[in-house]
Structures are given as C-alpha cells and as structure tokens.
Amino acid sequence: MTWHATALTLFPEMFPGSLGLSLAGRALREGRWRLDTVQIRDFAVDKHRTVDDTPCGGGAGMVLRPDVVDAACEAALAQGPGRPLVYLTPRGRLLDQALVRELATGPGAVLVCGRYEGLDQRVIEARGMREVSVGDYVLSGGEPAALLMLDACVRLLPGVMGGVDSAEEESFSASEAPLLEYPHYTKPAEWLGRTVPEVLLSGHHAAVARWRREQAEAATRERRPDLWARREPQRIAAAGLASGHAGTTD
C-alpha cells in the first residue's frame, strides 16, 4: 500500500515544494508515496469564500471556522480513510523521531495547516486531531511545518533511502533515549591545518565505534541536557545490572 499524505491548506501551491526534489521527489515520482492537497477555501459556505471569523471573547486575529475545516477534513479522509489527522500547531506535542517512525509505518497522514490564530477548538476535538509542534517558535502558517514533517516521514519509507545503517546511526534514531549524532569527517585528511582524528584513520573498527559513541554522548550532554537527563536512569540501571551479574556465580 502506498503511503498517502494529504495537506489541508489555504495555499496548495506550496506543495510539494522541496518534497518534489532529491530523495523525496524521486520517491514521489516512483510512486513510493502519494501527496494530495485540499484547498480549505473550497468548503466555505458563503459567496465570499470566508474561512475565518473573529475570536469569541475578543482578541487579535482571526480563527478558522469549525464547519469549513470539518468539511475539508471529510473530503480529505474520503481520499484515503484510516489515516490520522495531524494539526500542526505551536501548542502541540513536540515532533520527535519516535512519532515520525510511528507515522511512517502507518498508512499515511492528513496534515491540517493552520493559519491566522489557529483552528476552532471544537473541530480539533470532534475530529480527534493529533496536535503536533515542530519546535518552540511560531511560523506564519502550518505549511512549512507540514513539509518538514513529511520530509522526516518519507525518508523512512521502504526503498527511499539507500543506506539503512546510515538512518539508524542518525541523531534521535536510537530505540533507547536518543543521542545526538557524532561528528563526521572525509578526505582530505588535512584541511586548513585541521586534521581528521587519528582513530578514524586507524582501521580499528571497535576503537572507531567507541570514539563515535563518546563523541555522541559528549555532544548530547553539552547541547541537549534534556535528552541526557532522560538517559541517566537507563545508565544507572544498566550499571547496577552489570554489577549484579559480576558478583553472581552459578
């Protein structure tokens, strides 16, 4: 079954965008995944094709109407039922590799690209949308976030990437609490007075693996203490288990 994505948007011309290039674009042309768009404005109920209205309770900006968005969702799901509805919003759950893997192994997704102040909460609840954020910042709309999420998912689809090992070693790919990826080097061995670490030229595979693990751990401790804190209970448990085994005899 082809992995199927649909974007609900006021700007369908933003798709496929960068997804029409490189690995994702080739996979799209090969039919490894499918991308459709639904123009939210097509489901407006007045002659002016209005999709938003002022927020109840007052305040700045406009809010996308629940009836319009609900009709657009119905049309998108009719193209391929059984797919989760994902609303891209700064107030959602942070997108991570675990969620990307979950979505990539499913039938696809319907991505709702918000604009203005966002969606009426009632349609979010009525449709059981999964609210997802791509980071702690605010974009002008959900389309760039949808492109980002789709890129992360598509590259995990069967046959899209050539090197499975490469994907497994990337940042956030570990099944345990993730580590940032180790630094990479290539030829020439010396450039502008900077040299490739000797261990990477040694041919000693165990030493290379150990160095890479140490570098990944150091980068994670320094740059993402939140991720490192998630690893500590695992490290303590592993150390205790190793100690217990060491002191046990049959």
Give the Cα separation of 75 and 80 in Å (integer).
9
Note the Cα 63 to chain centre separation in Å: 25
Residues 13, 115 within the same domain: yes
Mean pLDDT of 30-45: 97
Is 31 part of any known ligand binding site?
Answer: no
Residues 86, 173 within the same domain: no
Is 123 part of any known ligand binding site?
Answer: no
More reliable by pLDDT, 59 or 157? 157
The domain total for the chain is 2
Q: What are the helix (H) ranges across the chain? A: 22-29, 66-79, 97-104, 121-126, 143-154, 164-168, 205-223, 225-246
Domain annotation covers residue 101: yes
Residues 147, 213 within the same domain: no
Tokens of 108: 């696809």
Give the Cα separation of 226 and 21 in Å (integer).
34
Cross-strand bridge partners of residue 130:
86
Amino acid at 219: A
Render pLDDT for 93-122 as a digit per residue (tens, 0 to 9).
999 999 999 999 999 999 999 998 899 999
Is 182 part of any known ligand binding site?
Answer: no
Give the Cα separation of 43 and 35 in Å (integer).
20
Domain annotation covers residue 41: yes
Give the Cα separation of 173 and 22 in Å (integer).
21
Is 20 part of any known ligand binding site?
Answer: no
User: Which CATH number is 67's domain given?
Assistant: 3.40.1280.10
Is the per-residue pLDDT at 165 higher than 50?
Answer: no
Give the Cα separation of 105 and 154 in Å (integer).
10
Is 163 part of any known ligand binding site?
Answer: no
Give the Cα separation of 216 and 163 in Å (integer).
20
Inter-CA distances, 117 with 111, 172, 186, 197, Å: 17, 31, 46, 50
- Could you give the count of Cα atoms lying within 13 Å of 190 in the half-sphere of its Cβ? 1
Identify the helix (H) or strand (E) that includes residue 15: none
Is 164 part of any known ligand binding site?
Answer: no
Is 135 part of any known ligand binding site?
Answer: yes
Render pLDDT for 210-250 as a digit per residue (tens, 0 to 9).
999 999 999 999 999 998 998 876 665 555 555 565 444 44
Give the Cα separation of 11 and 153 in Å (integer).
21
Find the domain containing 115 and state its range.
Answer: 3-154
Residues 229, 182 within the same domain: yes
Terminal C-alpha separation, the chain: 52
Mean pLDDT of 75-80: 95
Render pLDDT for 119-150 as a digit per residue (tens, 0 to 9).
999 999 999 999 999 999 999 999 999 999 99
How large is the C-alpha radius of gyration of the chain? Answer: 23
- Tell me the pTM: 0.81
Mean pLDDT of 171-195: 82
Residues 80, 191 within the same domain: no
Is the per-residue pLDDT at 62 higher than 90?
Answer: yes
Residues 66, 16 within the same domain: yes
Amino acid at 77: L
Tokens of 144: 């760039």
